[in-house]
Amino acid sequence: MPHRKHNFSSEPEHYILSPAAEPMLERFLFGNRFAVLAVLAVLTVFFAFGLTKIRLDSSIEKYIPLNHPFIQNYLVHQDDLNSGVANVKIAVEPLSGDIFTQEYMETLSKINDDVFFINGVDRSGLMSLWTPNVRWTEVTEEGFQGGPVIPSTYDGSPTSLEQVRQNVLKSGTVGRLVANDFRSSIIDVPLVEIDPETRQQLNYQAFSADLEALIRDKYAPVDAQGNPIGDYRIYITGTPKKLGDLLDGAGKIAIFFLMAMIATAILLYLYSRCPRGTIIPIVASLIAVVWQLGALAWLGYTVDLYSVLVPFLVFAIGISHGVQIINGIAIESGKGANKIQASRHAFRSLYVPGMLALLSDGLGFLTLLFIDIGVIQELAIAASVGVAMIIVTNLILLPLVMSYVGISRSGVAHAEKTAKSEPVLWKTLSYFANRKVAPIPIVIAIAMAIGGYYVSQDLQIGDLDKGAPELRADSRYNLDNDFMVNNYSTSSDVLVVMVETSREQCNSYKVMDAIDRFMWHMENVPGVQSTTSLVTVSKLVTKSMNEGNLNWSALSRNQTILNSSIQRAPSTLLNPTCSMAPVIIYLNDHKAQTLTTAVEAVESFKARYDDHVDEKYFSYTLSEMEQAIEAGELSSVPVRFQLASGNAGIEAATNDVIADAQTTMLIFVYFVVFTLCFLTFRSLTAVACIILPLALTSILSQALMTYLGIGVKVATLPVIALGVGIGVDYGIYIYNRMEALIISGKEMQQAFLETLKSTGKAVSFTGITLAIGVGTWILSPIKFQADMGILLTFMFLWNMLGALVLLPALASFLLRPERMRARHKARHGDLPPAG
């Protein structure tokens, strides 16, 4: 192969990479083909070995904004607040009648026994009508009387069933363990999260599977249509069950990946008509995926419900760049070049725009680092690493392999045929670059932008669906959750405010009274259903100690009475040192408006009631505090109301971070894309032609979110970065080619037609490949993955349309071909432009 002096000018893309590097890089890679491939093979083995270290991460911390003040406050008390979180509730409902039948009680007893033996269950804390810790009490002249709800004399007879009914009424469990309508009852199952013997974290997925197999399938079997064939229905809720379901859902991702791969392979074959040209890009892209996953595993990263999606993107982006290389090689081969020459030419003409496109992808992803949420930052890193891997596997490995393998004759023939043909579609599309036709798409685009902007005014922040928003509204878990919310006095949306004071003071009169007022303040806030705290217990017990007389349902100023009133308070309502007592606020839902209203109400109360004293006083002991008060340092024990915990508290923090990040993200992504395009093309008109179609897609995708009822949430933020970062590729490829043709003297419409003939197909192929890759997510049982799938599919397709329709229309108005040619001539003389 004779050495060829490069004989074309570097404009437009060489602003990014110096021209001198190009032949050197090409010479180096193709001069040492075998050695380079050998190194890449070793790397592949190395990364593949890393795959064995991959594990699915089920920690929740990565999903929340750890640096938000709410979360910081929460983390201080995390250990105190988490006790009691890990429990599941199993509701058993007879298909007909109520729970007071012999058959029901028998079945409940069996289920109770089976649950008892499931691995991970905290057996001492298990609660149901059949456990001895569920008791009824009554005040009589002699004092308290009580006993287990199901007495030891129970024999299933109508009389003993009637006794159970009476006991249930006296037990205060209605709404908690027994449904308000007496048509079901609950087995409350606390879990031991860390196995005391093995010190292993409980496997939620296995636990969830046990519940399904040993309880639900056994006692509430269903037929193929999901109709019950037994006599009972079983409903299971609780965070561990939800995590189990989510992890199950994440497992389905493998199937989606396979589906996407097969669809892509078919498409690739139709495009290239060459088996080698089909298999090799797929293998190269799979290698990119292996490298990406392996590299992250070696770096110690875990896979979570977001980063599990990155391989799809890496694969799809890899394919879309691979196909350009294959296309280039086929065209060169058609011109008569041999395998090596064809590969070298393809490499030479494509690695610069390819690199530029990948660089914009990668930088676009990195803007996600500005969002202070672990999963998003890891998604950014994973995707950026993936893109870096594609640069090696699809821009270097692929042409090198092809230089050995070559393209098949059928592939070359197909490429030649395509190059010569002038499809009606391209012919039609080319009119958009005609100034007479161009106003049509422009006017339509403006109308859509205005309409889209108008619709997206109603765009909400946060998760809008009720129940567990991570799962679909019609998922088993959410249906079960609906049942619990409708039949029991409970809400699944909980805001927890942590009331802090110094040690041993959480039950002092001042703190308790402040909590009491706070609870009443919150109960007056729209969207708040009810509140619970130590004060609730204290009032209830004080009333009970006074013969159940309502007049005594108040806080006592007598410290001894206060102390004894909370002696048996659940440990979840105060920490062991009694320096913190949580107030649990039940909300109607977790819509952003509800959360904002509640959080603002808490803050206005804080502003009035928080004691602003030195931090040290909050860790004072009882005697230190007494001394401090005696010394006049303080007038009373300090108290402050700290936001926030509970799912609603965490969501409020997340919404806060997201609302900020939403704008920041958009600015950064567009800044990156703008800078890259401007550095490359050195022309504001060029930037406008490329970016305006992207902006239209961004506006429309927000309108789509509004229309579909998808709020701005953790999952939708990366969509913007991914959509814009990847979407800009189309514009870069098309504009790059079109500009070259214009400079070489082509008239606008003709230049666009030729652009379409050479890259239009690749661009549309890329758009469709990417859409397929993310489109399979729509089937995911995990709601946010499905939402991301919908939005990304939409963005990839619209960006493609934008590049094919709106870009030429804008170009026909904005570009000044004479000036472009003059500028080129001034810089490069008569050298023809690259592209």
Tell me the pairing of strands 135-140 and 528-532: unpaired
698 alpha carbon, distance to own chain's centre:
19
For residue 226, give both structure tokens. 């999901």
Cα 364 from Cα 309, distance rounded (Å): 17
Cα 410 from Cα 278, distance rounded (Å): 12
Q: How far is the CB of 507 from another protein (least distance, A)?
A: 11
Q: What is the largest CA-CA distance in the chain?
A: 111
Q: How far is the CB of 548 from another protein (least distance, A)?
A: 6
Task: Please identify, using beta-carbon distances, which residue of 410 and 544 lies nearer to another protein.
Answer: 544
Task: Please identify, using beta-carbon distances, which residue of 518 and 798 lies nearer to another protein.
Answer: 518
For residue 612, give both structure tokens. 């602003």
Judged by CB under 8 A, the number of residues near another protein is 45
Confirm or reject binding of residue 140 to another protein (CB under 8 A).
yes
- Tokens 């959480």 belong to residue: 506
Q: Contact with another protein (CB under 8 A): which of 611, 674, 682, 685?
A: 611
- Number of other residues whose CB lies within 10 A of the CB of residue 56: 14
Confirm or reject binding of residue 61 to another protein (CB under 8 A).
no
Confirm or reject binding of residue 548 to another protein (CB under 8 A).
yes
Q: How far is the CB of 493 from another protein (least distance, A)?
A: 20
Q: How far is the CB of 591 from another protein (least distance, A)?
A: 21
Task: Determine the interface stretch with another protein among 49-57, 87-95, 622-630, 759-767 (rule: CB under 8 A).
Answer: 622-630
Task: Determine the interface stretch with another protein among 30-38, 140-148, 242-250, 358-366 (rule: CB under 8 A).
Answer: 140-148
Task: Please identify, using beta-carbon distances, which residue of 195 and 523 lies nearer to another protein.
Answer: 523
Give SS3 for 185. strand
Q: What angle do CA 719, 722, 728 make, to 5 degrees?
A: 130
Confirm or reject binding of residue 554 to another protein (CB under 8 A).
yes
In the Cβ-directed half-sphere of 483, how many Cα atoms lie within 13 Å?
24
Confirm or reject binding of residue 636 to another protein (CB under 8 A).
yes
From 257, 399, 265, select the one nearest 322 (Cα to Cα): 399
User: Residue 696, exposed/middle/buried by CB under 10 A (0-12, 13-18, 19+)?
Assistant: buried
Phi, psi of 433 (to 5 degrees): -90, 0
Confirm or reject binding of residue 513 to another protein (CB under 8 A).
yes
Confirm or reject binding of residue 141 to another protein (CB under 8 A).
yes
Confirm or reject binding of residue 162 to another protein (CB under 8 A).
no
Q: How far is the CB of 690 from another protein (least distance, A)?
A: 56
Confirm or reject binding of residue 629 to another protein (CB under 8 A).
yes
Task: Please identify, using beta-carbon distances, which residue of 158 and 175 lies nearer to another protein.
Answer: 175
Confirm or reject binding of residue 100 to another protein (CB under 8 A).
no
Task: Please identify, using beta-carbon distances, which residue of 28 and 520 lies nearer to another protein.
Answer: 520
Task: Please identify, using beta-carbon distances, which residue of 323 and 535 lies nearer to another protein.
Answer: 535
Give SS3 for 525. coil
Task: Please identify, using beta-carbon distances, which residue of 439 and 548 lies nearer to another protein.
Answer: 548
Cα 209 from Cα 207, distance rounded (Å): 5
Q: Contact with another protein (CB under 8 A): which of 27, 123, 409, 557?
A: 557
Kind and range of the H or E run holding 148: strand 143-148
Cβ atoms of residues 317 and 393 within 8 Å? no
Q: Contact with another protein (CB under 8 A): which of 546, 596, 685, 744?
A: 546
Task: Determine the interface stretch with another protein among 112-120, 152-160, 429-437, 633-641 (rule: CB under 8 A).
Answer: 633-641
Task: Determine the interface stretch with another protein among 80-88, 297-305, 454-462, 560-568 (rule: CB under 8 A).
Answer: 560-568
Q: Contact with another protein (CB under 8 A): which of 298, 552, 674, 678?
A: 552
Confirm or reject binding of residue 551 to another protein (CB under 8 A).
yes
Task: Please identify, using beta-carbon distances, which residue of 539 and 824 lies nearer to another protein.
Answer: 539
Task: Please identify, using beta-carbon distances, which residue of 87 and 531 lies nearer to another protein.
Answer: 531
Judged by CB under 8 A, the chain residues 450 through 509 that form the site for another protein are: 508-509
Q: Contact with another protein (CB under 8 A): which of 202, 514, 587, 809?
A: 514
Q: Contact with another protein (CB under 8 A): which of 466, 510, 746, 828?
A: 510
Q: Contact with another protein (CB under 8 A): which of 96, 152, 635, 663?
A: 635
Confirm or reject binding of residue 553 to another protein (CB under 8 A).
yes
Q: How far is the CB of 135 from another protein (least distance, A)?
A: 17
DSSP state for residue 834 in the 8-state scheme:
P
DSSP 576-628: TTSSEEEEEEEES---HHHHHHHHHHHHHHHHHH-----GGGGG--HHHHHHH
Task: Please identify, using beta-carbon distances, which residue of 497 and 719 lies nearer to another protein.
Answer: 497
Task: Determine the interface stretch with another protein among 71-79, 297-305, 360-368, 555-563 (rule: CB under 8 A).
Answer: 555-563
Judged by CB under 8 A, the chain residues 517 through 536 that form the site for another protein are: 517, 520-521, 523-524
* Burial annotation 37-49 (CB, 10 A radius, 16+ → b, else e): beebeebbeebee
Kind and range of the H or E run holding 642: strand 640-645
Confirm or reject binding of residue 559 to another protein (CB under 8 A).
yes
Which residues is 532 bridged to in the sheet? 584
Confirm or reject binding of residue 143 to another protein (CB under 8 A).
yes
- Number of other residues whose CB lies within 10 A of the CB of residue 251: 13
CA distances from 273 to 405, 576, 716 (A): 15, 71, 37
Kindly write out the interface string for residues 590-609 of this chain, putting x where it contacts another protein by CB under 8 A and - elsewhere.
------------------xx
Sign of CA dihedral 633, 616, 599, 511: negative
Task: Determine the interface stretch with another protein among 21-29, 54-62, 135-143, 684-692 (rule: CB under 8 A).
Answer: 135-143
* Burial annotation 412-438 (CB, 10 A radius, 16+ → b, else e): bebbeebbeeeeeebeebbbbbeeebb
DSSP 678-705: HHHH--HHHHHHHHHHHHHHHHHHHHHH
Q: Contact with another protein (CB under 8 A): which of 192, 369, 459, 545?
A: 545
Task: Determine the interface stretch with another protein among 127-135, 464-472, 631-639, 785-793 (rule: CB under 8 A).
Answer: 631-639
Task: Please identify, using beta-carbon distances, which residue of 33 and 640 lies nearer to another protein.
Answer: 640
Task: Please identify, using beta-carbon distances, which residue of 519 and 791 lies nearer to another protein.
Answer: 519
Confirm or reject binding of residue 639 to another protein (CB under 8 A).
yes
359: Cβ–Cβ under 8 A, 6 or more apart, which residues?
Answer: 16, 676
Task: Please identify, using beta-carbon distances, which residue of 434 and 529 lies nearer to another protein.
Answer: 529
Q: Contact with another protein (CB under 8 A): which of 66, 169, 263, 355?
A: 169
Question: Please, what is the end-to-end C-alpha distance for the chain in angstroms?
Answer: 23
User: Residue 620, exposed/middle/buried by CB under 10 A (0-12, 13-18, 19+)?
Assistant: buried
Kindly write out the interface string for residues 711-750 of this chain, putting x where it contacts another protein by CB under 8 A and - elsewhere.
----------------------------------------
Q: How far is the CB of 554 from another protein (least distance, A)?
A: 4
Q: Contact with another protein (CB under 8 A): which of 561, 659, 695, 831?
A: 561
Cβ atoms of residues 162 and 151 within 8 Å? no
From 21, 788, 2, 724, select the one nearest 351 (Cα to Cα): 21
Confirm or reject binding of residue 560 to another protein (CB under 8 A).
yes
Cα 659 from Cα 442, distance rounded (Å): 31
Confirm or reject binding of residue 269 to another protein (CB under 8 A).
no
Q: What angle do CA 712, 714, 717 make, to 5 degrees?
A: 65
Confirm or reject binding of residue 550 to another protein (CB under 8 A).
yes
List residues near another protein by CB under 8 A: 139-141, 143, 169, 508-510, 513-514, 516-517, 520-521, 523-524, 544-554, 556-561, 564, 608-611, 626, 629-630, 635-637, 639
